Chain A
Amino acid sequence: MIKADKITKVFGKNTVLEEISTTVHQGEVVTVIGPSGSGKSTFLRCLNLLEVPTSGEIFMNNNEITSSKVNKLEIRKNIGMVFQHFHLFPHMTVLENVIYAPQKVKGLDKSTAVESAKKLLAKVGLTDKEDSYPNHLSGGQKQRVAIARALAMEPEIMLFDEPTSALDPEMVKEVLDVIKDLAKTGITMVIVTHEMNFAKEVADRVLFLDQGKLVEEGKPTDFFQNPQSSRAKDFLDKVL
């Protein structure tokens, strides 16, 4: 469970997030949508403290993680993140990418790490690529490796920051399919996305952000068919 309590983020004179409060329950899949610059990514990056909120608190399983006493690295072990631009380690093979953190951070021995990495790579359909370098993979393959890499830490929560926005159209589906499969396993997920059909299909709840504010949230069927706020209506008119 992760809970944001009135988190605000200010960059210089720009208020990017304004008093956002929401709770993501265990096993819940939440999608975050909204126009560009609405603060969706910043919100997501606050959840694993890649950005530290200017004010407000974040709780994970009822422990405050925004307190200065908390070791950020410890928190992040339990929160996997997938980036828009993958950020795979280019000098390591696919397998090395996946086993790196379990070995270095969790202290697993190599054979255990390799064994579970191979299972994960099979799960994302990349068994034959384990010895390739990231530069030799397509965008969709890179993103699936990135998902396997994050899962290798066995996190409680997975964060996805526009996982398909940097992909060629024909590769979007393969990545979304992996994420959908993952959603069925009961892992908690927060997904920032521009893929509306996907957001509707995969989510238990949708958050709509605009200009740094949480304007509306609700079940996907309610939200997409019958948005309450005029801003959400405008947005959906444009993208659907």
Chain B
Amino acid sequence: MNLDFSQIVPYIPFILEGIGATLKFVSISIVMGFVLGTLLALCKITKLPFLKGFAVFYTSMFRGTPLILQLMIIYFAVPQLTGYDITAFLSAVLAFGLNSAAYISEIIRGGIQAVDRGQTEAAEALGVPYKPMMLNIILPQAFKNILPAMMNEFITLTKESALVSTIGYLDLMRRAQVVGSDIYRSFEPLIFVALIYWVMVYLLTVAGSLVERRLRQSD
């Protein structure tokens, strides 16, 4: 046993800054995935064949290829085509947001379809147009049912975010590697960020249960 946590002490501020770096792109990706995923889910349940086809194809592409490959394509391959020098941050947001939208759309589609058909009929019978019907009646009920699955997706996204270390984005994971190569020790920095990831996910879980409890008010 050759452990010396005191060696990473000078690097702690450097590592902690990684929390912000990780949270920044993860939170934007979550919002993006959520909004896009909702729209894709609505496309999947329409009767319009073009929109439906697009949404199904989109999901199939993003679920059918590795996330790290999508990240690489956006960061390394797209600039080659377009000449636009994309930042690591933007690549990360795009890859994770677009990818997560595919998964979220499936969760939301299931949630919408699980809402009693009578709810749509009741709204239609009252003359409620499609948009307010979805926003005020169907989606709130769907979200309540899918919240656990949604939390799972957010947790996965938070952890998988470590993949951005491969394109040089200075997130938590990357910082642990930098410190490791600086002090020729891997165990201490890696264990330290492992703990940070675990705490972040734990807090996310707590937040999820709070929201869930609030939504169960009407039961």
Say whether, besides A91-B141, A133-B218, A105 and B119 are in contact (CB < 8 Å): no
Q: Does B140 contact A (CB under 8 A)?
A: yes
Q: Report A24-58 residues with CB < 8 Å from chain B CB.
A: 48, 50
Please tell me if the beta carbons of A73 and B118 are within 8 angstroms of each other in the complex.
Answer: no
Q: Does A175 contact B (CB under 8 A)?
A: no
Interface residues on B, range: 20 to 34
Please tell me if the beta carbons of A104 and B136 are within 8 angstroms of each other in the complex.
Answer: yes
- Interface segment out of the listed B9-17, B66-74, B82-90, B122-130: B122-130
A48, A79, A90, A153: the one contacting B218 at CB < 8 Å is: A90
Please tell me if the beta carbons of A104 and B128 are within 8 angstroms of each other in the complex.
Answer: yes
Interface size on A, residues (CB 8 A): 30
Q: Report A109-164 residues with CB < 8 Å from chain B CB.
A: 133-135, 149-150, 153
B128, B141, B217: the one contacting A105 at CB < 8 Å is: B128
Q: Is the interface of B mostly helix, strand, loop or mixed?
A: helix
Output the least CB separation between A44 and chain B (Å).
Answer: 11
Nearest A residue to B126 by beta-carbon distance?
A101
Please tell me if the beta carbons of A83 and B122 are within 8 angstroms of each other in the complex.
Answer: yes
Please tell me if the beta carbons of A150 and B116 are within 8 angstroms of each other in the complex.
Answer: no
Output the least CB separation between B215 and chain A (Å).
Answer: 8
Q: How far is the CA of A134 from the CA of B118 in the complex (A)?
A: 15
Q: Does B53 contact A (CB under 8 A)?
A: no
Say whether, besides A50-B121, A83-B118, A135-B219, A89 and B127 are in contact (CB < 8 Å): no
B122, B129, B137, B144: the one contacting A73 at CB < 8 Å is: B129
Please tell me if the beta carbons of B127 and A74 are within 8 angstroms of each other in the complex.
Answer: yes
Please tell me if the beta carbons of B144 and A76 are within 8 angstroms of each other in the complex.
Answer: no
Say whether, besides A90-B141, A135-B218, A105 and B118 are in contact (CB < 8 Å): no
Please tell me if the beta carbons of B124 and A89 are within 8 angstroms of each other in the complex.
Answer: no
Nearest A residue to B140 by beta-carbon distance?
A91
Say whether, besides A89-B137, A90-B218, A91-B144, A153 and B122 are in contact (CB < 8 Å): no
Q: Report B127-162 residues with CB < 8 Å from chain A CB.
A: 127-129, 132, 136-137, 140-141, 144
Nearest A residue to B141 by beta-carbon distance?
A91
Q: How far is the CA of A93 from the CA of B141 in the complex (A)?
A: 14
Please tell me if the beta carbons of A87 and B122 are within 8 angstroms of each other in the complex.
Answer: yes
* Chain A residues within an 8 Å CB radius of B116: 87
Q: Report A90-108 residues with CB < 8 Å from chain B CB.
A: 90-93, 100-101, 104-105
* Chain A residues within an 8 Å CB radius of B119: 87, 89
Output the least CB separation between B212 and chain A (Å).
Answer: 14
Please tell me if the beta carbons of A104 and B125 are within 8 angstroms of each other in the complex.
Answer: no
B126, B127, B132, B215: the one contacting A149 at CB < 8 Å is: B126
The contact string, 1 if C-beta is below 8 Å from chain A, for chain B 84-128, is 000000000000000000000000000000001011011011111
The contact string, 1 if C-beta is below 8 Å from chain B, for chain A 145-189, is 000011001000000000000000000000000000000000000
Q: How far is the CA of A73 from the CA of B124 in the complex (A)?
A: 7
* Chain A residues within an 8 Å CB radius of B124: 50, 72-73, 76
Q: Does A16 contact B (CB under 8 A)?
A: no
* Chain A residues within an 8 Å CB radius of B121: 50, 83, 87
* Chain A residues within an 8 Å CB radius of B125: 48, 50, 76, 79-81, 83, 150
Known: A100-B136, A104-B128, A133-B218. 8 other contacts (CB 8 A): A73-B124, A73-B129, A76-B125, A88-B122, A89-B119, A89-B137, A91-B141, A101-B126
Q: Which residues of B contact A (CB under 8 A)?
A: 116, 118-119, 121-122, 124-129, 132, 136-137, 140-141, 144, 215, 217-219
Show 26 residue pairs from A and B whose CB-CB distance is below 8 angstroms, ordered by the A residue: A48-B125, A50-B124, A73-B127, A73-B128, A73-B129, A79-B125, A80-B125, A81-B122, A81-B125, A87-B116, A89-B119, A89-B137, A90-B218, A100-B128, A100-B136, A101-B126, A101-B128, A104-B132, A105-B127, A105-B128, A133-B217, A133-B218, A133-B219, A134-B218, A135-B218, A135-B219
